[in-house]
Amino acid sequence: MSSSRKAVIPIIEKWNKLLFYPTLYEGFEYSSNVIYTGAAPNQNSVQLAEFMTSNFGPRVYLIGSDYIYPYESNRIMGELVMQRQGGEILAERYVPLDAQERDYADIMADILNKQPDFIFSTVVGDSTTALYRAYADAGFDPKKMPIASLTTSEAEISQMDNGVAAGHYTSAPYFQSIDTEINRRCLTNLRRKFGDSSLPNLCWEAAYFQMHIYANAMRMSGDDEISVLMPYILNSEFDAPQGRIKIDPMSHHTYLYPRVGRVSNNGQFSIVRQARRSVCPDPYLVTHSIGDWAARLDTMAD
């Protein structure tokens, strides 16, 4: 969680240690002791807002777990949606981290009443299953009013009944369904070692390539001191399952490939939009808004 990262950073800075952080987060942060390999908001939120408002409309209902990441991520999505003509935030609701399906009952009733164009979910963990089940039980149609998320990955979908998440959307740099030789080879090796029940997702992929970045830096520097390692980490590149990534020497974040995926009945994602090239990280959203070049993705599927 973001709060855990924020608690750790002062410690690693005090002792001048190195942290690789493989999870998407809300942005607006920099530490010279951290390498951020998960997506910044301009590598997932911007593209998801562009896709959802273009295809479904600009009236959004925000739902999140009750901690810092959802509050900040919802703020960013809300600001992006409000750039659209007719953009409107219909509600912003939060549930406990251990929320059960009953905790969503009044939210589903409110959604039925307000009829948003789409729902933006920053619900995390096991309560994600409860949200999607509550949505399905309420009789809503993802073809008309889908859930869009940054945090619902293959791991969360695997916990749901068959088809419960089908038709909903997630934005991430990585999905298992990426059709490249590197991705297929990595998945084969992973399952050979850990079995078919392993659940690779966006965080697994970032952890995978960041370890290669670190190992390569160690081989070239011959030292594990951060002052010696860092010049070999910054500006380094690696052919990751998502594509060729690069560590930005200015922000310590990573050039990544934004994608939007729609959940299929088999629990995997059909990639419906894909970046033409890697997107430079902009964790402070200085230059990015709906409609800019970083948000334009190639159509992959209908």
The CATH number of residue 175's host domain is: 3.40.50.2300
Domain count, the chain: 1
Are the CB atoms for 183 and 268 separated by under 8 Å?
A: no
Residues of the domain holding 134: 1-302
Q: Which whole-number Å values give the CA distances from 96 to 106, 123, 137, 205, in the listed order? A: 14, 9, 20, 28
Return d(Cα 148, Cα 119) in angstroms, integer.
6
Which amino acid, residue 211? M
Distance of CA 151 to the CA centre of its chain: 5
What is the signed CA dihedral for 286, 289, 293, 297, rounded to 10 degrees?
130
pLDDT (tens, 9 = 90+) of the chain, 302 residues, equals: 466 777 888 999 999 999 999 999 999 999 999 999 999 999 999 999 999 999 999 999 999 999 999 999 999 999 999 999 999 999 999 999 999 999 999 999 999 999 999 999 999 999 999 999 999 999 999 999 999 999 999 999 999 988 999 999 999 999 999 999 999 999 999 999 999 888 899 999 999 999 999 999 999 999 889 999 999 999 999 999 999 999 999 999 999 999 999 999 999 999 999 998 999 999 999 876 666 544 456 666 55
What is the signed CA dihedral for 290, 291, 292, 297, rounded to 10 degrees?
100
